[in-house]
Structure 1
Amino acid sequence: MCRRRNRNDKSCQKYRKIMANLIFDYDGTIHNSMKIYEPSFRNAYQWLVDNNYAEQRDFSYEEISYWLGFNSTDMWQQFQPNLAPEIKEKVRKILGNYMGEYAENGKAELFDGAEDMLLDLKNQGHTLIFLSNCRVQYMERHKRIFRLDRFFDYFYCCEEYDFLPKYQIFRKISSQHSGQYIIIGDRFHDIETATKNGLKSIGCGYGYGTVKELEKSDIIVNNINEIPAAVKLLTEEI
Structure 2
Amino acid sequence: MSPLRFELLAFDWDGTLFDSTACIVKSIQAAAREFGLPEVPKERAQHVIGLGLEPALQIAVPDLPRERYRDLANAYRRHYFATVHEVTLFEGVPDLLLELKRRGHRLTVATGKSRRGLDEALRQVGLTDLFEATRTAEETASKPHPQMLHELMDELRVPAHGTLMIGDTTHDLQLAANAGTAALAVSFGAHAAAELLALQPLAVVPNVPALATWLRQHG
Query: Do the aligned partners of residues 70 and 207 (structure 1) sit closer, same or farther apart at CA in structure 2, a change above 3 Å counting?
Result: same
CA distance in 2, matches of 1:227, 1:166: 25
Q: Are 1:90 and 2:77 an aligned pair?
A: no
Q: CA deviation at 1:228?
A: 2.6
CA distance in 1, matches of 2:89, 2:143: 26
| 2:35 paired residue number | 48
Query: Do the aligned partners of residues 222 and 164 (structure 1) sit closer, same or farther apart at CA in structure 2, a change above 3 Å counting?
Result: closer
Q: Are 1:17 and 2:10 an aligned pair?
A: no
Query: Do the aligned partners of residues 124 and 33 (structure 1) sit closer, same or farther apart at CA in structure 2, a change above 3 Å counting?
Result: same
Query: Do the aligned partners of residues 58 and 97 (structure 1) sit closer, same or farther apart at CA in structure 2, a change above 3 Å counting?
Result: closer
Q: CA deviation at 1:79?
A: 2.6
Match of 2:195 among 213, 216, 235: 213
CA distance in 2, matches of 1:125, 1:223: 23
Match of 1:129 among 108, 127, 136: 108
Per the alignment, in what secondary structure is the counterpart of residue 149 of structure 1?
coil
Once structures 1 and 2 are overlaid, which stretch shifts more, 184-193 or 169-178?
169-178
| 1:4 paired residue number | none
TM-score, length of structure 2 as denominator length: 0.87
| 1:107 paired residue number | 86
Q: CA deviation at 1:164?
A: 6.0
Query: Which amino acid in structure 2 is aligned with residue 107 of structure 1?
Result: E
Query: Which amino acid in structure 2 is aligned with residue 74 of structure 1?
Result: P
TM-score, length of structure 1 as denominator length: 0.80
Q: CA deviation at 1:223?
A: 0.6
| 2:176 paired residue number | 194
Q: Are 1:185 and 2:171 an aligned pair?
A: no
| 1:77 paired residue number | 58
Once structures 1 and 2 are overlaid, which stretch shifts more, 202-211 or 168-177?
168-177
Once structures 1 and 2 are overlaid, which stretch shifts more, 115-124 or 205-214?
205-214
- Contact 2:11–2:107 under 8 Å retained in 1: yes
CA distance in 1, matches of 2:144, 2:173: 12
Query: Which amino acid in structure 2 is aligned with residue 193 of structure 1?
Result: L
CA distance in 2, matches of 1:223, 1:92: 31
Q: For structure 2, which runs of at least 5 residues remain unmatched after alignment?
A: none
Query: Which amino acid in structure 2 is aligned with residue 209 of structure 1?
Result: H
Q: Pick the structure with greater CA Rg.
A: 1
CA distance in 2, matches of 1:42, 1:77: 13
Query: Which amino acid in structure 1 is aligned with residue 111 of structure 2?
Result: S
